Amino acid sequence: MKKTFTLSMTFLHTWGGLVMGWLLFGVLLTGSIAVFQDEINLWAVPEIRTGLNPDRATTLQLGVDHLNAQAPDARMWRIDLPRDRDPQLIVAWTTPQGKTTSHTLDPVSGGVIERKTQAGAFYLAYHYMLGIDRNENLAGFMIVGLSGIFMIAACVSGIVIHKRIFKDLFLFRPNASGQRAWLDMHNVLGVLPLPFHLMMAYTGIVILYWIYIPAAVQTLYAGDSVPFRAEAIALEYRGLKAPAGEPAAMLPLPQLMRAAETSMGADKTAYIYVRDPNRGNAVFDAYRDRDDRVTQQVEQVALDGVTGAVLRIRDDSAISRVQSYIAALHFVEWGGAAVRWAYGLAGMASTGMVAAGLVVFTEKRRRKAGGDAAWLTWVDKINVAAVAGISVACVALLWAERLTPVFPERAQIPVLAFYWTWAAMALHAALRPPRKAWGEQFVLAGLLCLGAPLLGGQGWRHLAALDGVRMGMDATLIGTGLLCLAGVWILHRRARAGPCQPEAAEVEDAVEALRCLSPPAC
Amino acid sequence: MDAASRSAAVEEAVDIGLRVVASIFGGYALTYALTAAASVLLHRGGLDRVDSALVSTNLAILIYPAVMIWAFAARRGWFVLAALIAATAGLGLVAWLLPR
Amino acid sequence: MLVAASLLMTYLACGQLALAYARHHRAAFGRPPSKARARRMRIAGGVLLVVSPIPWIIESGFGVGFTTWLWYALPCVAVALVALLAFAPRAAARLALVPVPRP
């Protein structure tokens, strides 16, 4: 395209990075936050009791009793047993008309927890679907997929154009001139975790590969994804097409669970499906926990609900297992807190890389233009909205969670708060000069973070109860808030200090820049 | 801007536009067609349907970012688009004409 | 804890590798390393890097341990090292147990 391959890649990386970066920042930020969706869920619903360690058979029976009281004639039951960072008991049922309802129960008392929330789940929904339910419209889902593909292209083009990739491997000069320091940061956050970026972009698409590219379903299954999913993800026992059988007594579910666990491992059942409960053709399907293996598709045992006979033990092909491993690299539902933190921090490095790149774009051109070209100011305003704006919205969601009272349709309100806050921040960015808007929005984000633990007096309650997970969330919020405020203060001070003396390294960079053949492309 | 540099600017804009279309839509089309062809060939080669779908799709995905890179590295934008259309059509024929 | 041991060893490894660079060595110690010292540090760093996931693997099994170390923990530690190197190169060197060069 340009005179050399490097210049073409510079164009792709710079302009593609700008446009896609506006989208990718939000995707990566919400993805990194969503690593902790279970913890966020716990934080948002104070009624869930932690540290109970109830007997699993008793808890399962509580769930069954509740389901028998609510929906003995349902076509399908689902029971999610309490697990390490998900200590609630969740039961759900699907009526013969196809409507699914779910209740969250206390695992010891069996009482229904009225507060419904989408807190953690929304970050995930935004991350891979931009908040648009893919069962209704694939647009958000596909756009995020495209941004993932671009991310791979951006990584490759970045490697091509980063001439001193090995020399500058550990280089960060915070005191260099604005653009140089930001470029150093972009390079460090880009290159050191490069395998992580490439892996995450690819694995994200591998998870739901057949929805992104339905070609194989078209050619091999005549476009019908139901038999494909039945074979690929073992949803065989979820089909509701066969009619329900005659009423019959099922074996007690705790007994069936114990039988299933002889092959899955004791206490390893994570969730259970029962098709056509209390009928002659009832099928009990136990799914194994994901905590100790790097795999997304889990072991699964299906038993006849009435006789207890083993109907099927899931056995994946080697290729399926590879896909499952690849998907698990992206989901990281395995391992303990250390794994999750390493994963979340690595995700924040990706997020920071995109933000730094967006800032480099405007800083570099502002230096060259020598003034404020109007279009550059607008690019900067969009940067503010895309980076600072969505950051504020992410915290605003948590505030809305705390402030919304309990009533049946409350779950949507914090989601709406997210979008309205983002819109307000975008408006603010449009009206204010970018330099001021950056600082103002990140100060707001910082203050919201600091304030969130105090809302409703919950922070004190967490301390009093020594609730580890919730205190961890509060501490993270406070730490993030302080980081935001510190960052704004540091950058504000640097801006006030004025342009600094170029150092030797900057001179050598300038010389290198002069060798550039086509200035606008660099 | 005089007439000559204005037309050069338009030419460049069109060229970039073609590359963007090629990288986004052409890339998807090629990935789709490659998946289709590979899935049929793998299945005919003895792999079961699920495994064929898995291997063909997850490997073909890697062609998409490669197309994006090529779309901007190649000398002419229209050539990229034309090549992608031709390759997609060719692979599509392979996929749909071969008996499963 | 074995996980902490892995993280520490990873930091030591990255520290050795980073401080073998003339620029960073100069920032920490006032002068670039001799060729021999640089080569020693790179070898030490390389060996430490290979060995550092082992405690985690012992703690959590190969699948979880190695996967976490390779894909998530290593980049985090490397980025943390860069931050330390940028603001406090001598502290970064001391933490990486890199000895002050003989005069």
Tens digits of residue pLDDT in A144-201: 999 999 999 999 999 999 988 998 999 999 888 778 999 999 999 999 999 999 999 9
Residue B58 to residue A326, Cβ atoms within 8 A: yes
Strand A100-105 to strand A283-288: parallel, antiparallel, or no bridges (unpaired)?
A: unpaired
Using CB atoms, which chains have 3+ pairs under 8 A with B? A
CB pairs under 8 A between A and C: 77
Segment A127-134 mean pLDDT = 94
CB pairs under 8 A between A and B: 107
Taking residue C98's Cβ as centre, other Cβ atoms within 10 Å add up to 24
In terms of residue numbers, what domain contains B81? 3-97
Least confident of A125-134, A312-321, B85-94, C44-53: A312-321
Q: Does C63 touch chain A (CB under 8 A)?
A: yes
Does A1 score more than 60 pLDDT?
yes
| Predicted local distance difference test score (pLDDT) of residue A521 | 37
Residue C60 to residue A335, Cβ atoms within 8 A: yes
Interface ipTM: 0.95
Residue A193 to residue C86, Cβ atoms within 8 A: no
CB-closest option in A206, A215, A320 to B35: A215
pLDDT bucket at A367, cuts 50 / 70 / 90: confident
Give B22-61 pLDDT, tens digit per residue: 999 999 999 999 999 999 999 999 999 999 999 999 999 9
Chain B: give the shortest CA distance to residue A270, in Å.
26
Highest averaged pLDDT of the listed ranges A146-155, A508-517, B2-11: A146-155
Highest averaged pLDDT of the listed ranges A74-78, A107-111, C13-17: C13-17
| Predicted local distance difference test score (pLDDT) of residue A98 | 81
Of the candidates A219, A284, A28, A375, the one whose C-alpha atom is nearest the C-alpha of residue B53 is: A219
Does A520 score more than 60 pLDDT?
no
CB-closest option in C79, C81, C83 to A193: C79
pLDDT bucket at A498, cuts 50 / 70 / 90: low
CB-closest option in A192, A196, A336 to C72: A196
Q: Which long-range contacts (CB under 8 A, 24 or more apart) does A429-436 make?
A: A429/A381, A429/A382, A429/A384, A429/A385, A429/A388, A429/A389, A430/A381, A430/A385, A433/A377, A434/A362, A434/A377, A434/A380, A434/A381, A434/A383, A434/A384, A435/A495
Chain A: give the shortest CA distance to residue C103, in Å.
25
Give A9-49 pLDDT, tens digit per residue: 999 999 999 999 999 999 999 999 999 999 999 999 999 98
Q: Identify the closest residue of chain A to B28 by CA–CA distance.
A: A213
pLDDT bucket at B100, cuts 50 / 70 / 90: low
Give the C-alpha separation, A25 to A31, whole Å. Answer: 10
Residues on B contacting A at a C-beta cutoff of 8 Å: 15, 19, 23-24, 27, 31-33, 35-36, 39-40, 43, 48-58, 60-62, 64-65, 68-69, 72-75, 77, 95-96, 100
Q: What average pLDDT does the structure give for chain B? A: 93
pLDDT bucket at C100, cuts 50 / 70 / 90: confident
| Predicted local distance difference test score (pLDDT) of residue A296 | 85
| Predicted local distance difference test score (pLDDT) of residue A519 | 46
| Predicted local distance difference test score (pLDDT) of residue A267 | 87
| Predicted local distance difference test score (pLDDT) of residue A223 | 87
CB-closest option in A172, A334, A349 to C86: A172
Chain A: give the shortest CA distance to residue C30, in Å.
16
What are the residue ranges of helices labelled H in A370-467? 374-384, 390-403, 412-431, 434-451, 458-465
| Predicted local distance difference test score (pLDDT) of residue B66 | 97
User: What six digits make up the tokens of A166?
Assistant: 């090995």
CB-closest option in B43, B51, B61 to A213: B61
Does A513 score more than 70 pLDDT?
no
Quick check: A61 and A252 in contact, CB under 8 A? yes
Give A221-255 pLDDT, tens digit per residue: 998 888 888 788 765 545 556 777 888 889 999 99
Contacts of A413 (CB under 8 A, 6+ apart): A400, A404
Does A518 score more than 50 pLDDT?
no
Residue C79 to residue A169, Cβ atoms within 8 A: no
DSSP 8-state assignment for residue A335: S
Residues on A contacting B at a C-beta cutoff of 8 Å: 1, 5, 8-9, 11-12, 16, 146, 149-150, 152-153, 156-157, 202, 205-206, 209-210, 212-213, 215-221, 228, 231-232, 317, 319-320, 322-323, 326
Residue A9 to residue B33, Cβ atoms within 8 A: no
A–B contact: 3+ Cβ pairs < 8 A: yes
Quick check: A216 and B36 in contact, CB under 8 A? yes
Residues of C in contact with A294 (CB under 8 A): 63-64, 67
CB-closest option in A8, A146, A228 to B72: A8
Give the start-to-end residue ranges of the domains of chain C.
2-94
Interface test with A, best of C6, C14, C56, C79 (most A CBs within 10 A): C79
* Beta strand spans in A228-275 (E): 269-275
Interface test with C, best of A32, A36, A166, A170 (most C CBs within 10 A): A170
pLDDT bucket at B10, cuts 50 / 70 / 90: very high
Q: What angle do CA A134, A136, A139 make, to 5 degrees?
A: 55
Give A314-365 pLDDT, tens digit per residue: 878 889 999 999 999 999 888 888 899 999 999 999 999 999 999 999 998 8
Mapping DSSP onto H, E and C, the string for C21-84 reads CHHHHHHHHCCCCCHHHHHHHHHHHHHHHHHCHHHHHHHHHHHHHHHHHHHHHHHHHHHHHHHH
Give A374-404 pLDDT, tens digit per residue: 889 999 999 999 999 999 999 999 999 999 9
The total number of structural domains in chain B stands at: 1
CB-closest option in A172, A189, A329 to C67: A329
Q: Identify the closest residue of chain A to B56 by CA–CA distance.
A: A216
Does A110 score more than 80 pLDDT?
yes
Residues of B in contact with A156 (CB under 8 A): 65, 69
Give A449-485 pLDDT, tens digit per residue: 999 999 988 888 888 888 889 999 999 999 999 999 9
Residue A167 to residue C73, Cβ atoms within 8 A: no
Does A263 score more than 70 pLDDT?
yes
Give A302-324 pLDDT, tens digit per residue: 899 899 888 888 878 889 999 99
| Predicted local distance difference test score (pLDDT) of residue C55 | 95
Measured in residues, chain C has a length of 103
| Predicted local distance difference test score (pLDDT) of residue A502 | 55
Does A84 score more than 90 pLDDT?
no
| Predicted local distance difference test score (pLDDT) of residue C85 | 93
